Structure 1
Amino acid sequence: MSQQEIHGDVSRVAVVTGASSGIGEAIARALAGAGFRLALGARRIDRLAQVAESIAETSGQRPFLHALDVTSPDSATAFVDAVRSAFPQIHVLVNNAGLARGMTHVADVSDESDWQVMLETNVMGLLRMTRLLLPNIRRSGDGHIINIGSTAGHEAYAGGSVYCGSKFAVRAITDALRQELLGEQVRVTTVDPGMVETEFSVVRFHGDVRRASEVYAGVQPLTAEDVADCVRFAATRPKHVNIDMVVLRPVAQASGGRVARRPVAAKEV
Structure 2
Amino acid sequence: MFNESRLIGKIALITGATSGIGKSCAIALAKLGMNIIVVGRRENLLEELKNEIESQYSTKVFSLKLDVRDSSEVFTSLSSLPESWKNIDVLINNAGLALGLEKLYLNTPEDFSTVFNTNVIGLLNVTNALVPNMIKRGTTATIVNIGSVAGDAAYAGGAVYCASKAAVKTLSDGLRIDLVDTKIKVTDVKPGLVETDFSLVRFKGDKARAESVYKGIEALTADNIAETVAYIVNLPENVHIAEITILCNNQADGRTIFKK
TM range (shorter): over 0.9
Q: Deviations over 1:213-265 (max 9, x none)?
A: 11111111000000001100000001111111110111021122221112xxx
- Answer with 204-213 or 76-85: which moved more: 76-85
Q: Deviations over 1:29-50 (max 9, x none)?
A: 0000011111111000101110
Please give the alpha-carbon distance, in whole angstroms, between the structure 2 residues aligned to 1:84 and 1:76.
15
Please give the alpha-carbon distance, in whole angstroms, between the structure 1 residues aligned to 2:254 and 2:130.
33
Residue segments in structure 2 that go unaligned for 5+ positions in a row? none
- C-alpha contact (below 8 Å) 1:91/1:136 kept by paired residues: no
Q: TM-score, normalised by structure 1?
A: 0.92
Displacement after TM superposition at 1:2 (Å)? 4.9
- Which residue type is aligned with residue 72 of structure 1? D
| Partner secondary structure for residue 98 of structure 2 | coil
Root-mean-square deviation over aligned CA pairs: 1.4
- C-alpha contact (below 8 Å) 2:98/2:202 kept by paired residues: yes
- Counterpart of 2:202 in structure 1 is 204
- C-alpha contact (below 8 Å) 2:145/2:188 kept by paired residues: yes
- Counterpart of 2:175 in structure 1 is 177
- Counterpart of 1:266 in structure 2 is none
Give 4+ residue runs of structure 1 displaced > 4 Å after superposition: none
- Counterpart of 2:112 in structure 1 is 115
- Counterpart of 2:29 in structure 1 is 31
The alpha-carbon distance between structure 1 residues 172 and 84, as it changes in their structure 2 partners (threshold 3 A), is farther
Q: TM-score, normalised by structure 2?
A: 0.95
- Counterpart of 1:267 in structure 2 is none
Please give the alpha-carbon distance, in whole angstroms, between the structure 2 residues aligned to 1:60 and 1:34.
10
- Which residue type is aligned with residue 215 of structure 2? A
- Which residue type is aligned with residue 214 of structure 2? Y
- Counterpart of 1:42 in structure 2 is 40
Please give the alpha-carbon distance, in whole angstroms, between the structure 2 residues aligned to 1:234 and 1:139.
23
- Counterpart of 1:126 in structure 2 is 123
- C-alpha contact (below 8 Å) 1:23/1:227 kept by paired residues: yes
- Counterpart of 1:153 in structure 2 is 151
Please give the alpha-carbon distance, in whole angstroms, between the structure 1 residues aligned to 2:53 and 2:171.
31
Aligned length: 258
Q: Deviations over 1:115-150 (max 9, x none)?
A: 000000000000110000002222341111110000
- C-alpha contact (below 8 Å) 2:41/2:65 kept by paired residues: yes
| Partner secondary structure for residue 100 of structure 1 | coil
5 Å-filtered alignment, 1:88-107, equals: 88-107=86-105
- Counterpart of 2:219 in structure 1 is 221
The alpha-carbon distance between structure 1 residues 138 and 21, as it changes in their structure 2 partners (threshold 3 A), is same
